[in-house]
């Protein structure tokens, strides 16, 4: 299999690149390195350009032809909720524009297999029960809107071009499969809490009066290695005649919720530092609980998460410590 991976120099993409290379697949990465790190890629071919540049379709076609690409995984996107609220035009231009160019290049070059990086953010404020793929998609920020429109685009491309696609709705990703692939972006609970703990600062809890078992927010944390393996399951399904014939959507989560306090307790155990958290008011619009029903991907692709919350927090902490040691 020869796979083109956009955004492959990013946190999640680099895990998928390494798993594919380790099993012997050919990989070529397209990344503008605006958020990615080329050192994650080793000797994997990297072609650096902006996926919304005016010549992006032609350049993608060149890469497909030169590397005899049979499948594409599209990770490249902006993914900061707060930034999307401040600059929605960036998210519609870049997240949808880059995907549109990938779809156009795929159609022109005859590539019919695409795995698309979507998000649980498409659900917006789901009710308290586990979220299924058939639940309402009412995103509450431009980031989630851009991910949902991307799902519509790949669905329409199935009708227009015969594009077979799997959209993966990520829940809360954390952890590291290798120390050098840890998430350096201090933008989500685990990485923010690790950063603060490493600096001797107490972690901050955004609200402890939610209608949840311990009052703090509950999310479905999924190990980045489990998530990466879900991409390989999707690629392998698309490579078979029995695989998806058009556009399918899967939640990628564990089906188990964990509260902020549970995550912080895991970090205290991993780091050996237990600082009493600061309790701040809840963030506007923060849902009390978002947990996946991941039964469809299990039934149809045979994928299930296997790693625990402690695996995620321990590996994330070790990767942070490794980065601190090696960059000192």
Residues 13-72 contacting ligand WQD, CB under 6 A: none
Spatial neighbors of 108 by CB under 8 A, at least 6 apart, are 57, 61
Is 76 exposed, middle or buried (CB count within 10 Å of its CB: 0-12, 13-18, 19+)?
buried
Q: Whole-number minimum distance, CB 107 to ligand WQD, in Å?
A: 26
For residue 128, the 8-state DSSP code is S
Closest by Cα among 120, 118, 117 to 13 = 117
Residue 115, phi then psi, degrees to nearest 5: -105, 125
Cβ proximity of 258 and 217 under 8 Å: no
Angle, helices 142-161 vs 97-109, to 10°: value is 20
The two three-digit tokens of residue 140, written as one number: 């509450």
Regarding 120 and contact with ligand WQD (CB under 6 A), the answer is: yes
The two three-digit tokens of residue 71, written as one number: 């499948």
Q: Which stretch binds ligand WQD (CB under 6 A): 45-53, 90-98, 199-207, 294-302?
A: 199-207
Regarding 119 and contact with ligand WQD (CB under 6 A), the answer is: yes
Q: Whole-number minimum distance, CB 84 to ligand WQD, in Å?
A: 9
Residue of 91, 116, 143, 221 marked active site: 143
Regarding 224 and contact with ligand WQD (CB under 6 A), the answer is: no
Q: Which stretch binds ligand WQD (CB under 6 A): 8-16, 175-183, 198-206, 222-230?
A: 198-206
Q: Whole-number minimum distance, CB 18 to ligand WQD, in Å?
A: 20
Is residue 221 annotated as a catalytic residue, yes or no?
no
Q: Whole-number minimum distance, CB 98 to ligand WQD, in Å?
A: 15
**Mode of pairing for the β-strands spanning 258-259 and 218-219:** antiparallel
Cβ proximity of 1 and 25 under 8 Å: yes
Contact map string, positions 268 to 287, toward ligand WQD, x by CB under 6 A = ---------------x--x-
Regarding 170 and contact with ligand WQD (CB under 6 A), the answer is: yes
Regarding 249 and contact with ligand WQD (CB under 6 A), the answer is: no
Q: Which stretch binds ligand WQD (CB under 6 A): 47-55, 95-103, 204-212, 243-251?
A: 204-212
Regarding 81 and contact with ligand WQD (CB under 6 A), the answer is: yes
Regarding 79 and contact with ligand WQD (CB under 6 A), the answer is: yes
3-state secondary structure of 170: strand
Closest by Cα among 131, 136, 148 to 84 = 148
Binding site for ligand WQD (CB under 6 A): 79, 81, 119-121, 170, 172, 188-189, 192, 204-206, 217, 219, 260, 283, 286
Q: Which residues are catalytic?
A: 143
């Amino acid at each position: 299999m020869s796979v083109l991976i956009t955004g492959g120099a990013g946190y999640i993409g680099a895990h998928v690149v390494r798993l594919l290379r380790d099993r012997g697949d050919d990989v070529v990465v397209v990344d503008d390195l605006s958020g990615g790190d080329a050192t994650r890629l080793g000797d994997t071919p990297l072609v650096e350009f902006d996926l919304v540049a005016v010549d992006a379709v032609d350049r993608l076609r060149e890469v497909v032809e030169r590397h005899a690409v049979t499948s594409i995984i599209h990770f490249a996107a902006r993914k900061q909720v707060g930034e999307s609220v401040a600059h929605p035009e960036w998210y519609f231009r870049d997240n949808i524009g880059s995907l549109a160019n990938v779809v156009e290049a795929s159609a022109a070059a005859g590539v019919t297999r695409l795995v698309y990086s979507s998000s649980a953010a498409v659900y917006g404020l789901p009710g308290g029960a586990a979220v299924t793929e058939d639940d309402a998609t009412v995103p509450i920020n431009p980031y989630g809107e851009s991910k949902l429109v991307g799902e519509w685009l790949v669905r329409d491309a199935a009708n227009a071009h015969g594009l077979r696609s799997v959209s993966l709705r990520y829940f809360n990703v954390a952890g590291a499969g290798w120390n050098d692939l840890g998430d350096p972006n201090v933008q989500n609970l685990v990485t923010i809490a690790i950063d603060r703990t490493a600096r001797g600062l107490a972690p901050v809890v955004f609200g402890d009066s939610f209608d949840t078992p311990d009052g703090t927010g509950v999310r479905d944390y999924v190990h980045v290695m489990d998530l990466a393996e879900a991409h390989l399951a999707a690629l392998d399904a698309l490579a078979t005649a029995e695989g998806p014939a058009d556009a399918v959507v899967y939640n990628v989560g564990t089906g188990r919720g964990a509260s902020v306090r549970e995550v912080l307790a895991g970090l205290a155990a991993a780091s050996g530092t237990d600082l009493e958290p600061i309790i701040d008011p809840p963030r506007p619009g923060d849902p009390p609980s978002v947990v996946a029903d991941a039964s469809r991907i299990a039934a149809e692709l045979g994928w299930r998460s296997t790693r625990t919350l402690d695996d995620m927090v321990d590996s994330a902490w070790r990767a942070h410590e490794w980065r601190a040691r090696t960059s000192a």
